[in-house]
């Protein structure tokens, strides 16, 4: 599906609602958004405006990608179109376009880091502007989004000392029959947390066996994890993608759902890259620079959608202590043992 950035009114209303909700975790006034830094290179801006348009592919939510397009057009007057597509199909589409001659989009935003490495090696990805200062960036890619995985809890029914601080806290008898978990069959990326627990010496298969004795309910939909915790049918749920709680709160302000990062956390990142054969190379460079600026990070991650490596910007989610984040656990690391993980869950969680 291709979306035009002309739907400004709808986006603005949605962004305001989500940003207000996100202050539970961000705590920064909305007024600060107007002062966020963005690229001001007059020569690059003029060259980008002369090209007159920009297109990009993205695997993030439609809300995030629409926000990117709308805010960039508002800042620079350059019309933007985008195509939202999940990681696997995006990788297949780009591979097909490369075989046909070139990638159609000027910019890519994708969670498939290893596909990006392949395309870089094949000279399909251009270097990012050298003057962009951004944490952990490489010559060709930078992490534009960080989604950390933890647990949801019903804050009306789970309070005080019962709020989990470690994964072992889920073995509390209070939670017996009151845990919901998303199936590892959802995807290897969704299973990073389960894989991290399975392989950790402190937890391992013994922990997963004890968790099974708590009689958790397994569901096939990430949003359903948040919904069941909100309703009180479950007291805790995981793997918890914080933006699912924000989505619940956007529909039902005051819903009794919150989330916690425990002692092992996994990360679902997304990255930005520029097509080496972009039709609009200057607009692509400007867009990449914008997305890695504070203003662009708020556009993409604000409204409680995700965390930013630039810190707690307005409307973005507060990130956990990075020392607890198992950054080495990626979907690519899970994939070779994904079948074994599924078999273990089938045995334990029938």
Contacts of 129 (CB under 8 A, 6+ apart): 44, 285, 288, 289
Regarding whether 19 and 91 lie in a shared domain, the answer is: yes
Domain membership of residue 59 (yes or no) is yes
Cβ pair 130, 140 in contact under 8 A: no
The C-alpha atoms of residue 126 and residue 49 are separated, in whole angstroms, by 20
Regarding whether 327 and 297 lie in a shared domain, the answer is: no
Regarding whether 229 and 85 lie in a shared domain, the answer is: no
Regarding whether 193 and 293 lie in a shared domain, the answer is: no
147 strand-pairing partners: 268
Regarding whether 286 and 259 lie in a shared domain, the answer is: no
Domain containing 219 equals 147-266+322-348
Residue-level pLDDT, tens digit, the chain, 350 residues: 455 433 332 233 222 223 333 333 433 333 344 479 999 999 999 999 999 999 999 998 888 999 999 999 999 999 999 999 988 899 999 999 999 999 999 999 998 988 999 999 999 999 999 999 999 999 999 999 999 999 999 999 999 999 999 999 999 999 999 999 999 998 888 899 999 999 999 999 999 999 999 999 999 988 999 999 999 999 999 998 888 888 898 889 999 999 999 999 999 899 999 999 999 999 999 999 999 999 999 999 999 889 999 999 999 999 998 889 999 998 889 989 999 999 999 999 87
pLDDT of residue 5: 38
Domain membership of residue 184 (yes or no) is yes
Regarding whether 63 and 7 lie in a shared domain, the answer is: yes
Domain count, the chain: 2
Regarding whether 138 and 199 lie in a shared domain, the answer is: no
pLDDT of residue 4: 42
Strands (E) across 31-72 are located at 54-58
Domain membership of residue 140 (yes or no) is yes
CA-based nearest residue to 185, from 262, 239, 148: 239
Domain membership of residue 307 (yes or no) is no
Regarding whether 110 and 158 lie in a shared domain, the answer is: no
The C-alpha atoms of residue 319 and residue 306 are separated, in whole angstroms, by 9
Strands (E) across 9-132 are located at 54-58, 80-84, 107-110, 125-126
Regarding whether 177 and 69 lie in a shared domain, the answer is: no
Regarding whether 44 and 107 lie in a shared domain, the answer is: yes
Domain membership of residue 121 (yes or no) is yes
Cα-flanking dihedrals φ and ψ of residue 148, to 5°? -95, 145
pLDDT of residue 63: 87
Domain membership of residue 317 (yes or no) is no
- Distances in whole angstroms, Cα of residue 271 to Cα of each of 142, 266, 284: 5, 16, 14
pLDDT of residue 186: 86
What is the CATH classification number for the domain harbouring 129? 3.40.190.10
Regarding whether 211 and 186 lie in a shared domain, the answer is: yes
Q: What is the DSSP letter of 265?
A: B
The C-alpha atoms of residue 270 and residue 252 are separated, in whole angstroms, by 28
Regarding whether 107 and 29 lie in a shared domain, the answer is: yes
pLDDT of residue 7: 35
Domain membership of residue 254 (yes or no) is yes
Say which residue the tokens 């604000």 belong to: 302
Q: What is the DSSP letter of 103?
A: -
Domain membership of residue 311 (yes or no) is no
């Amino acid at each position: 599906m291709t979306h035009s950035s002309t739907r400004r009114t709808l986006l603005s209303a949605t962004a305001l609602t989500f940003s207000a909700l996100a202050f539970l975790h961000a705590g920064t006034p909305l007024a600060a958004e107007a002062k966020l830094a963005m690229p001001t290179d007059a020569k690059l801006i003029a060259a980008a405006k002369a090209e007159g348009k920009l297109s990009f592919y993205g695997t993030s939510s439609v809300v995030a990608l629409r926000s990117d397009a709308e805010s960039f057009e508002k800042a620079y007057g350059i019309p933007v179109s985008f195509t939202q597509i999940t990681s696997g199909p995006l990788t297949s589409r780009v591979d097909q376009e490369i075989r046909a001659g070139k990638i159609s989009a000027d910019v890519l935003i994708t969670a498939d880091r290893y596909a990006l490495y392949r395309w870089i090696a094949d000279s399909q990805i251009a270097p990012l502007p050298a003057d962009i200062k951004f944490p952990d960036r490489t010559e060709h890619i930078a992490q534009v989004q960080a989604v950390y995985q933890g647990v949801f809890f019903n804050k009306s029914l789970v309070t005080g000392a019962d709020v989990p601080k470690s994964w072992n806290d889920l073995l509390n008898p209070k939670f017996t029959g009151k845990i919901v978990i998303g199936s590892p069959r959802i995807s290897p990326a969704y299973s990073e947390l389960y894989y991290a627990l399975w392989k950790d010496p402190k937890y391992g298969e013994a922990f997963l066996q004890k968790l099974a004795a708590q009689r958790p309910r397994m569901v096939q939909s990430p949003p359903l994890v948040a919904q069941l915790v909100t309703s009180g049918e479950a007291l805790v749920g995981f793997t918890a993608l914080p933006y699912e709680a924000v989505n619940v709160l956007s529909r039902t302000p005051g819903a009794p759902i919150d989330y916690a990062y425990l002692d092992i956390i996994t990360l679902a990142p997304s990255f930005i890259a520029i097509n080496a054969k972009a039709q609009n190379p200057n607009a692509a460079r400007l867009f990449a620079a914008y997305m890695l600026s504070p203003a662009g990070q708020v556009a993409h991650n604000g409204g409680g959608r995700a965390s930013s490596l630039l810190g707690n910007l307005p409307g973005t989610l507060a990130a956990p202590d990075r020392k607890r984040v198992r950054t080495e656990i990626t979907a690519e690391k899970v994939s070779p043992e994904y079948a074994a993980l599924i078999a273990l869950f089938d045995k334990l969680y029938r």
